[in-house]
């Protein structure tokens, strides 16, 4: 019979690593993520793409899907909570668990953050490995340098619900517009009525004629990246899916802060005089 001390020691050998496979399945995985998956005792797959699970199964013989926790009309909050419980159960049994997510495990992924934090709170070793996200693909596919004008990133419903100060001389990137306005966390398709409200919010800052991009990254080498140009007032009638990101280019020009420029020039002259 195991003593309490032995059971405690066995329990604490469990560990959790949340990883991301990137956006393009099989093409974006990093060497450390591949090695981590292959060395795990059990791998949980979090993606609605069946190809994702098939690909993971080639790397590891014990892959379990987390998709079964989704259901029509069921709040995603409940789904995420059940996912976290499923991930942590084998960790508590002393297993090395890997939870593999589509894209980056820390970007718009609720269960990964909660699972890592809960595991740490319970005394287990838990960490997250970085990966290529939709944001990384977006910069490359749209030719955006975030350092040129700056970028603002918001989850769409949060952007709609709260007062935000928007700089229209920078890019505005809204994530998950498909779920815009969904306060029940059950929506699986876009709602044109909610998107009309989003358009109203955007028109407080931009002209309805301002051209924006509906962006969807390719998830495998056989797919093509989709970039649809529409006007803001056309958003409610546009095709928007779960993977779509709304990218709004700068609307106004950058305004030089003459006061700060003068101070910088003065500081430069002082430095030259010191030298």
Give catalytic residue positions: 76, 80, 102
Cβ neighbourhood burial of 21 (10 Å; 0-12, 13-18, 19+): buried
| DSSP-derived secondary structure for 133-194 | -HHHHHHHHHT--HHHH-EEEEEHHHHHHS-----TTSEEEEE-GGGTT-SSS---S--HHH
Nearest to 13 by CA among 90, 88, 94: 94
Tokens of 24: 């393009």
Strand order in the sheet with 245-248: 151-155, 171-175, 245-248, 211-216, 226-231
| DSSP-derived secondary structure for 7-41 | HHHHHTT-EEEEEE-BSSTTTS--HHHHHHHHT-S
């Amino acid at each position: 019979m195991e003593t309490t001390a032995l059971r405690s020691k066995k329990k604490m050998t469990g560990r959790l690593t949340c990883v991301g496979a990137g956006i393009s399945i099989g093409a974006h995985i990093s060497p450390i993520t591949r090695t981590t998956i292959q060395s795990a005792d059990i791998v949980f797959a979090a993606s609605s793409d069946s190809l994702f699970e098939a690909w993971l199964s080639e790397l590891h013989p014990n892959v379990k899907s987390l998709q079964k926790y989704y259901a029509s009309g069921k709040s995603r909050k409940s789904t995420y909570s059940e996912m976290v419980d499923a991930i942590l159960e084998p960790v508590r049994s002393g297993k090395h668990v890997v939870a593999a997510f589509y894209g980056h495990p820390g970007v718009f992924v609720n269960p990964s953050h909660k699972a890592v934090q809960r595991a740490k709170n319970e005394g287990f070793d838990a960490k997250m490995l970085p990966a290529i996200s939709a944001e990384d693909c977006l910069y490359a596919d749209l030719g955006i340098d975030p350092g040129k004008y700056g970028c603002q990133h918001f989850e769409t419903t949060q952007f709609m619900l709260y007062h935000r100060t928007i700089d229209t001389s920078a890019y505005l990137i809204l994530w998950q517009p498909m779920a815009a306005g969904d306060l029940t966390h059950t929506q699986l398709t876009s709602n044109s009525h909610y998107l009309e409200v989003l358009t109203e919010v955007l028109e407080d800052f931009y002209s309805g004629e301002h051209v924006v991009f509906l962006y969807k990254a390719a998830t495998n080498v056989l797919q093509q990246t989709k970039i649809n140009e529409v006007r803001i007032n056309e958003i409610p009638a546009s095709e928007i899916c779960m993977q779509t990101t709304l990218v709004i280019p700068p609307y106004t020009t950058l305004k030089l802060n003459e006061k700060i420029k003068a101070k910088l020039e003065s500081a430069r002259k002082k430095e030259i005089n010191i030298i």
